[in-house]
A and B are shown apart, each in its own frame.
Chain A
Amino acid sequence: GEDVEQSLFLSVREGDSSVINCTYTDSSSTYLYWYKQEPGAGLQLLTYIFSNMDMKQDQRLTVLLNKKDKHLSLRIADTQTGDSAIYFCAESRGNTGKLIFGQGTTLQVKP
């Protein structure tokens, strides 16, 4: 996962917005993804964005993609304690089906 970078930790208060950032390197990536991992569980797909889009909104989640800077962000509005988890961004590599994952950002939501 050395080609996809994320900060390791973010702490917010319940009700605030959370913004998790990611940078990637492969400009040919077709799709970029956000996965959520709760303690002791596998990865669950949250959302994805096609590389020709700038923004995608899905209820409390907003994904922003800056293709020029190879920067992806996930905004969670009205963050709840149930949002506490590790969030991984990932990029697809060509048409291989393989994904390259970042290190994961641990989101801590304080009541």
Chain B
Amino acid sequence: NAGVTQTPKFQVLKTGQSMTLQCAQDMNHNSMYWYRQDPGMGLRLIYYSASEGTTDKGEVPNGYNVSRLNKREFSLRLESAAPSQTSVYFCASNPPAGTDTQYFGPGTRLTVL
């Protein structure tokens, strides 16, 4: 099992450009999440998907869109990137029952100039 994978690992964008961050998990998990991590602020939830075909806003959804393409894949899209979106983005997933433990990907480091 690869667990949770994310691409790309690093990205530099100019203000106004768009891009999609990809996330996939091979653990047959139902729920998937996108977080951003900023210094001194911990992880903040952007969007989540409780199951294939459903998505919901988290704490900081503005400026982002998501797609739950299938059970394995959950992508995060920045339509018009802004410097305030410079951050490290993490994808996570958790299984349908049990302890709510989330398993994290390695992260995507995004810089918006």
Which residues of A are interface residues toward B (Cβ below 8 A)?
A: 1, 4, 8, 30-31, 33, 35, 41-45, 48, 50, 88, 92, 96-99, 101-104
Q: Which B residues are in CB contact (< 8 Å) with A44?
A: 104
Q: Do residues B104 and A43 form an inter-chain contact, with CB atoms below 8 A? A: yes
Q: When A97-B31, A97-B50 are in contact, do A103 and B42 touch as well, CB less than 8 Å?
A: yes
* Chain B interface extent, by class: 20 to 34
Which residues of B are interface residues toward A (Cβ below 8 A)?
A: 4, 31, 33, 35, 40-45, 48, 50, 58, 90, 92, 94, 99-107
Q: Which residue of B lies closest to A104 (CB)?
A: B42
Q: When A97-B50, A97-B94, A98-B48 are in contact, do A42 and B104 touch as well, CB less than 8 Å?
A: yes
Q: Which A residues are in CB contact (< 8 Å) with B100?
A: 30-31, 92, 97, 99
Complexed CA–CA distance, A102 and B44 (Å): 9
Given A96-B50, A98-B45, 18 other A-B contacts at CB below 8 A?
A1-B41, A8-B40, A41-B107, A42-B4, A42-B107, A43-B43, A45-B101, A45-B103, A48-B101, A50-B99, A92-B99, A92-B100, A97-B31, A98-B58, A101-B35, A101-B43, A103-B42, A104-B42
Q: Which A residues are in CB contact (< 8 Å) with B90?
A: 42-43
Q: Which B residues are in CB contact (< 8 Å) with A99?
A: 100, 102
Q: Do residues A101 and B42 form an inter-chain contact, with CB atoms below 8 A? A: yes
Q: Which B residues are in CB contact (< 8 Å) with A102?
A: 42
Q: Do residues B101 and A33 form an inter-chain contact, with CB atoms below 8 A? A: yes
Q: Which B residues are in CB contact (< 8 Å) with A31?
A: 99-101
Complexed CA–CA distance, A35 and B50 (Å): 22
Q: Which A residues are in CB contact (< 8 Å) with B4?
A: 42
Could you list 10 A-B pairs, sorted by A, with CB under 8 Å?
A41-B107, A42-B104, A42-B105, A42-B106, A43-B43, A43-B92, A45-B103, A48-B99, A50-B99, A101-B43
Q: With both chains docked as a complex, state the minimum distance between the C-beta of B6 and any C-beta of chain A, in angstroms.
A: 8
Q: Which B residues are in CB contact (< 8 Å) with A45?
A: 101-103
Q: With both chains docked as a complex, state the minimum distance between the C-beta of B79 and any C-beta of chain A, in angstroms.
A: 25
